[in-house]
Amino acid sequence: MVMSERKDWKYEINVIKLDKPMKVPKEISKQLKGIGSRKFISQLKREAIDCPVLNRRLSFLECYVCPNFVRRIRGVVYCKGHELE
């Protein structure tokens, strides 16, 4: 029996390590206060992605709260790729 493979994502985006942290909007920082320590959050601010939906570089934290975010495994972000308003 052959099972058809269904993907729940459209894009696979590599995470980019940065030397300096990117600025993250305050409302996103407030949303993420419960997910980890300040050290962990500041470490994630030093990671970015090149968003194929918005066609610009975003902080990983902005990507994480996006409705298109599916998961992140081993430095690769899986994105649904739907248009955003």
pLDDT digits (tens, 9 = 90+) for 45-73: 999 999 999 999 999 999 999 999 999 99
Residue 33 lies in a domain: yes
Residue 61 lies in a domain: yes
> Residue 80's closest CA among 65, 64, 67, 63?
67
Between CA 56 and CA 78 the distance in angstroms is 16
The residue range of the domain holding 33 is 17-66
Residue 17 pLDDT = 97
pLDDT digits (tens, 9 = 90+) for 12-46: 999 999 999 999 999 988 888 888 788 888 899 99
- The answer as to whether 8 is a domain residue is no
Within 13 A of 5's CA, how many CA atoms are on the CB side? 2
Q: Is pLDDT at 1 greater than 70 in this prediction?
A: no
Q: Is 52 inside any structural domain?
A: yes
pLDDT for residue 4 is more than 70: no
Number of domains in the chain: 1
Q: Please state, in angstroms and rounded to a whole number, the distance separating the CA atoms of residues 29 and 59.
A: 12
